[in-house]
DNA sequence: GGTCGGTATGTTTACGTCAACATATTGAAG
DNA sequence: CTTCAATATGTTGACGTAAACATACCGACC
């Protein structure tokens, strides 16, 4: 008899019910604090927002009530009213890569100083879909602005960004109207190539980063221009993928050509792989071949042959990104729209004049 | 006469006014979509949340209205009601450090797959205040859970975490009741030291990471235990700070001691600096001294002497962190509370048997 | 000693969403 | 044809906060 009854009920319930569990969280609200302190919730709000028109005695009462209850303002409710989130979005490719990691860290530091948190979305594939997904998630009005650390080129010419969302592009395309922050790659490349030519090398080979990287492309372009301007022959471009492995592979090739006396690698990791290949092939650095990198990673100075490279100050980039974003968020329109950070050539032991007898 | 008038007015205004500008943002809301589609906003809500009890014709109408207006759900309003944010917090120290960057990237990847975004807070100083500030910002109920990539030890024994906030600790202290994910540092260390002892070295020196790092401490402890268990003498511990520079410094010292035939550096960067110092001092690797590292950074295989090291799979760590966090967020209590990831010894060319004549 | 300007506080309302409840419509079983 | 359950939709209210508006009080000035 009871078995029949059991079957009858229960069917109406999971019909329209959401799969989520209930909030059930019991954070104290302003109302709780207000009750405890014997004031209105608006006064609590004033104290929470540090307004000046609150009597100091009242303020004390409220503060101690907050303390006692462990009150924390509810970001969601606040954001709903103010339209501000206290968060910046960062969309970036592979953070395992040195430059991107440093940039992210710098942005996060700068953001923290401005009392913003950083909502990070990593993008693995360089497809439009992946980037769009990352943006969509951030664009759900949960950040006040987005830094796009573009670095890699996409198949699509332009992303559709919501007009009301402040955006800053770092290390990326400049063919758009968003403010952007970049290292002056051309300057960096130029200083390396000039340095090597100045040492007496007939020309400088270039081990470039992947074709789909903005930075790699700019470094390569500046390399070519510097050679051309100096009247030096332009050797064929060699491509790597930023990894030490790819530098090694390219190095095996380059080591076989006696006419190669100077190589400018587009980053330090590739320079390391390159040096290893040269070493294996019995060509000394910088005796037979001069090698220069780009980035100045922490260990560049401590390689068997300390690496001549280009130092980049990521801290400054992060600060600039956040500053430009805050300009937009807070409605300032008088700030600059482009900030370039000058990299600095650091000359160590991996570059030297070519041996008198060589190919020149 | 007019000059007097000017002074009189204006004083009431900036009294209670907030310094912020108005929202003024005009995103369409569910109500707008509802009006356009000719349904109630609740029906729009149902469509937005992909509920099943909506007529397909109605659903189409709503969807096209959303499309036309460019509607995006408002995260803040949703979060206010549901108590969920679709965001995970990550609190981490220096992201410039290889391991932390890789961990962050892996967590971000795993989070993205679960359709969560990642709210990143970098902590620079290892002071309680800095960490507390980072937590406070995240704890403002704007994330559903927090991964603390602890790595460095703090002066305070325990952080006060809100009980309702799911937390996972990665790479940190185990003296708490939060689920945690770690590499099995002891296993990694043990395999390196055993490897070196097995090659015939009388003992193995250790170039440790900073004393305030959990990982460094565990690697050092396991190093000591392995030596003790094998009956090998325990040389004095040498400390570095993870950087190639510190490895170089320590290396200058170690190179002077002829009894040093094998050194286990707590990370690859220090191993690089160390090798450079040995090289400068005319001691060959691995001929005179064997060197092993920890991390297996991308370029470890492409150093002049490819480095024997311990490979760590950060992807897996990230996946585990997110999985454990989601377990808590979604109320699953049957999952594991601790996940260890096994690192793998990678033997390359920097380790070999000692020369017959040496000190043994 | 009353008007006035200023300060401290309280009251009301709206932000956008979703859960709970209410209602209309449909179809099937008795 | 009635009864009942299931489905589709609408209505109301609440989440926690801060802006806008309202009130109470205090001191100063003429």
* pLDDT digit string, tens, across residues B25-57: 468 899 999 999 999 999 999 999 999 889 999
B40 CB contact with strand C at below 7 Å: no
Q: How confident is the model at residue A11 (pLDDT cuts 50, 70, 90)?
A: very low
Q: Kindly give the pairing relationship between strand A87-92 and strand A145-149.
A: parallel
Helices B56-69, B41-48: inter-axial angle, 10-degree rounding:
90
User: What would the mean pLDDT of B293-300 be, rounded to a whole number?
Assistant: 93
Chain A residues inside the 8 Å CB shell of B121: 108, 112, 117-118
> What is the DSSP track for B126-189?
-SHHHHHHHHHHHHTTT-SEEEEE--B--SSS-----TTS-EEEESS--SSSS-EEEE-HHHHH
Q: How confident is the model at residue B87 (pLDDT cuts 50, 70, 90)?
A: confident
Question: What order do you get walking across the sheet with A238-239 strand by strand?
Answer: A238-239, A205-208, A262-265, A290-292
Domain A82-182+314-339 is in which class? alpha beta
pLDDT, residue A17, reads: 32
Domain A185-312 has CATH 3.40.50.2300: yes
Lowest mean pLDDT among A62-66, B18-22, B209-213: B18-22
Closest Cβ–Cβ partner in A105, A118, A272 for B94: A105
For residue B17, name the pLDDT band (cuts at 50, 70, 90): very low
Q: What is the largest CA-CA distance in chain B?
A: 105
Average pLDDT, chain A: 86
A5 pLDDT more than 60: no
Closest CA to A92 of A66, A57, A56, A118: A118
Which one has a higher pLDDT value, B218 or B162? B218
Spatial distance from the CA of B57 to the C1' of D12 (Å) = 26
Domain ranges of chain B: 25-69, 86-182+314-341, 185-312
- Fold matches, A82-182+314-339 and A185-312: yes
Residue A193 pLDDT > 80: yes
The minimum CA-CA distance between B197 and chain A, rounded to whole Å, is: 26
Contacts of A26 in chain B (CB under 8 A): 164
Q: What interhelical angle do B314-329 and B98-113 show, nearest 10?
A: 50
Strand C closer than 7 A to residue B48 Cβ:
yes
pLDDT in tens, B156-189: 666 656 566 788 988 887 777 789 999 999 999 9
CATH class for the region spanning A28-73: mainly alpha
The angle formed by the CA atoms of residues A339, A343 and A347, to the nearest 5 degrees, is: 170
CATH class, domain B25-69, is: mainly alpha
Give long-range contacts, CB 8 A cutoff, 24+ apart: A100-103: A100/A149, A100/A151, A101/B95, A101/B96, A101/B101, A101/B104, A101/B105, A102/A314, A102/B95, A102/B96, A103/A149, A103/A170, A103/A171, A103/A314, A103/A317, A103/A318, A103/A321
CA A165 remoteness from chain centre: 18
Top CATH class of B86-182+314-341 equals alpha beta
Report the distance separating Cα A55 and Cα A61, nearest Å: 10
Min distance B311 CA to chain A CA atoms (Å) = 15
Q: Provide, as residue numbers in chain A, all residues whose Cβ is less than 8 Å from the Cβ of B28.
A: none
Enumerate residues 158 to 217 of chain A having a beta carbon within 8 A of any beta carbon in chain B.
Answer: 162, 164
Distance from CA of A245 to the nearest CA of B (A): 7
The answer to whether the beta carbons of residues A295 and A270 sit under 8 Å apart is no
Instruction: Name the 3-class secondary structure at A18.
Output: coil
User: Residue A32, CA: closest nucleotide via C1'?
Assistant: D16
Phi, psi dihedral angles at B192 (to 5 degrees): -65, -50
Q: Which nucleotides of C are covered by protein (CB under 7 A)?
A: 5-12, 14-21
pLDDT in tens, A335-359: 788 899 999 999 999 999 998 865 4
Q: Which of B95, B133, B279 sits opposite A304 (nearest CB)?
A: B279
Q: How far is the CA of A110 from the CAs of A103, A104, A329, in angstroms? A: 11, 10, 15
The mean per-residue pLDDT over the stretch A176-182 comes to 86
Size of interface A-B (CB pairs under 8 A): 222
Least confident among A56-65, A150-159, A222-231: A150-159
């Amino acid at each position: 008899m009871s078995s029949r009854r059991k079957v009858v009920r229960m069917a109406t319930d999971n019909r329209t019910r959401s799969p989520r569990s209930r909030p059930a969280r019991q954070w104290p609200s302003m109302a709780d604090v207000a009750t405890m302190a014997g004031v209105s919730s608006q006064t609590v709000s004033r104290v929470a927002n540090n307004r000046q028109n609150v009597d100091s005695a009242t303020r004390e009462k409220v503060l101690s009530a907050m303390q006692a209850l462990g009150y924390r303002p509810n970001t969601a409710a606040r954001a709903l009213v103010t339209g501000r989130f206290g968060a910046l979005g960062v969309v970036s490719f592979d953070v395992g890569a040195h430059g991107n990691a440093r940039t992210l860290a710098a942005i996060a530091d700068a953001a923290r100083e401005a009392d913003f948190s950083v909502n990070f979305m990593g993008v693995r594939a360089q497809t439009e879909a992946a980037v769009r997904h990352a943006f969509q998630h951030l664009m759900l009005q949960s950040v006040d602005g987005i830094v796009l650390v573009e670095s890699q080129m996409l198949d699509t010419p332009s992303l559709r960004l919501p007009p009301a969302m402040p955006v800053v592009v770092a290390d990326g395309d400049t063919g758009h109207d968003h403010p952007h922050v970049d290292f002056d790659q051309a300057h960096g490349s130029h200083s390396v190539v000039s340095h090597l030519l100045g040492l007496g090398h007939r020309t400088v080979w270039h081990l470039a980063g992947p074709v789909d990287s903005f930075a790699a492309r700019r470094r390569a372009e500046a390399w070519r221009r510097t050679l051309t301007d100096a009247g030096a022959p332009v050797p064929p471009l060699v491509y790597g993928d930023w990894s030490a492995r790819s530098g090694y592979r390219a190095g095996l090739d380059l080591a076989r050509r006696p006419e190669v006396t100077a190589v400018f690698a587009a980053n330090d990791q590739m320079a390391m792989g390159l040096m290893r290949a040269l070493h294996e092939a019995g060509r000394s650095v910088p005796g037979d071949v001069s090698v220069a990198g780009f980035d100045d990673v922490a260990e560049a100075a401590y390689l068997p042959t300390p690496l001549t490279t280009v130092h980049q100050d990521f801290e400054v980039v992060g600060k600039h990104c956040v500053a430009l974003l805050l300009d937009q968020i807070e409605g300032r329109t008088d700030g600059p729209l482009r900030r370039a950070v000058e990299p600095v050539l650091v000359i160590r032991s991996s570059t030297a004049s070519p041996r008198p007898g060589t190919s020149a």
